[in-house]
Amino acid sequence: MSKARKRAQDAAPAPQPDAALLAQLEAAKREATAAAELAHRRTLALREVIQEANGVLKDLERERKAVREFIDTEVFPHINQAVQRGLEDYKAALTRAINEGTERVYARFDSIADILLGADKRTQSNGKLTLEELARQAVEAGYRPPGATAHPARGPHPA
């Protein structure tokens, strides 16, 4: 291309875009600007919400620590004290029950011994012989249990 022709092209006016196309471009530019402004406002709003949420989380953490401290200093000592009292009461009641049961067992064994030895009033009032008296009568009658050997002081058993 020659220099003259190039000058002529440079001097020629540039083609003008269509007015409708310019209007579409302008509308698209306005929409993009509006969308960018909306996105910016929403971003700012989200940042504000996030900051508020972080503040709330910090407040909740402080409250959680305060509640934990309250439980450790106020609640647990009362619970431990109540459990200790309950265990002491249980131990006292258990000891009392064991002692009462032991006394009842001893009393029952004593009454059985009295019955067997004839020392109880009912056996005496019925005229029954005591165990000691029955044993004495059996020995006097010469009774020896099977397999009994001679008494060293009395000699051999009379068969």
Three-class HEC string of the chain: CCHHHHHHHHHCCCCCCCHHHHHHHHHHHHHHHHHHHHHHHHHHHHHHHHHHHHHHHHHHHHHHHHHHHHHHHHHHHHHHHHHHHHHHHHHHHHHHHHHHHHHHHHHHHHHHHHHHHCCCHHHHHCCCCCHHHHHHHHHHCCCCCCCCCCECCCECCCC
In one letter, which amino acid is 126? Answer: N
More confident residue, 93 or 6: 93
Distance between first and last Cα of the chain = 165
42 lies in some domain: yes
81 lies in some domain: yes
More confident residue, 37 or 146: 37
Domain region containing 61: 26-107
61 lies in some domain: yes
21 lies in some domain: no
60 lies in some domain: yes
**Residue 44 confidence (pLDDT):** 94
- Number of domains observed in the structure of the chain: 1
Cα 151 to its chain centre, rounded Å, is 71
Rounded Cα–Cα distance for residues 2 and 16 (Å): 26
**Residue 91 confidence (pLDDT):** 97
1 lies in some domain: no
- Contact (Cβ atoms closer than 8 angstroms) between residue 130 and residue 118: yes
Residue 13 pLDDT > 90: no
Q: Cβ contacts of residue 120 below 8 Å, gap of 6+?
A: 111, 114
119 lies in some domain: no
pLDDT band at 45 (very low <50, low <70, confident <90, very high): very high
Q: Over range 99-122, report the average pLDDT.
A: 86
Owner of token pair 């910016």: 40
156 lies in some domain: no
Residue 159 pLDDT > 60: no
Residue 117 pLDDT > 80: no
Residue 14 pLDDT > 70: no
